[in-house]
Structures are given as structure tokens and as C-alpha cells.
Amino acid sequence: MSNIRYTKDHEYIRLDGDVGTVGITDYAQHQLGDVVFVELPSVGDAIVAGKQAAVVESVKAASEVYAPVSGEIVEVNSAIEAEPAVVNEDPVGKGWFVKLKITNPDEFAKLMDEDAYKAFVASMS
């Protein structure tokens, strides 16, 4: 089983043990255009799958980043608050948003794997 999953809202979560790294996909950052502002939650915040985890603003639009799974924020990427363009440059690498300790592993299992996500994106064009 792959350790990375995707949502229909174009977030990804990469699992390492019981901690997931969450960000937006390359497709999402292309749709947004140049990211100019990121607002992140605080460490210790509890987030619920499908609810807002962060906010990203670009030259085109403001958008919410939704939590792919429920959990507690254990780390935020303050580097992208200081330099939001990193989200465009490396969305699935240095441009991650938050790390969270997941509370329900079943939520992760229900997300799309890479092949399903690629097919989902392809169906939108």
C-alpha cells in the first residue's frame, strides 16, 4: 500500500507511521497560479477530515485547504508563510502545509491512491 493518498479537493497526505504530511497537489497549485499568502493553523489544533485546515491565496483566488483526515496538528511549515512561492515551486516537497497525528487510520485508507487520483484529474479535462 502506498503511503500517499489524495482528496477530490486536490490535497495530498503522505503517511509516516501515524503522522501525515498534508499539502496541495501539483494540479492544485497550477490551478491557483502564483501563491502569495498562506495561513496555517496552530500546533495542537484538532482538525476534522473535510474541514478547513489552512488557507491559501493566489493572484487568482483564495481557497481553503481541507484536512484529508482527522487529527492533531503536530507541526506547521512556517517557511511557506514567509515565502508562499515555495508552494508553487515544490508543492509535494518543501511546500507542505501541516503535519498531523492522525486519529482515524480508516479515513486514510478511504482516500484515492495515486492511480485513482491521476484518473480523477484526467476526467476533469
Give the confidence band of 2 by pLDDT, cuts at 50, 70, 90: confident
pLDDT tens digits, one per residue of 13-53: 999 999 999 999 999 999 999 999 999 999 999 999 999 99
Half-sphere exposure of 4 (CA within 13 A, CB side): 17
> Which pLDDT belongs to residue 125?
75
Q: Is the predicted pLDDT of residue 1 greater than 70, yes or no?
A: no
Find all residues with CB under 8 Å of 40, minimum gap 6, and list them.
54, 76, 77, 78, 80, 81, 97, 98
Grid cell of 45 as nine digits: 489544533
Number of domains in the chain: 1
Which structural domain range is residue 8 located in? Answer: 4-123
pLDDT tens digits, one per residue of 54-110: 999 999 989 999 999 999 999 999 999 999 999 999 999 999 999 999 999 999 999
Instruction: Say if residues 70 and 103 touch (Cβ distance below 8 Å).
Output: yes
CATH number at residue 29: 2.40.50.100
Residue 19 β-bridge partners: 16, 101
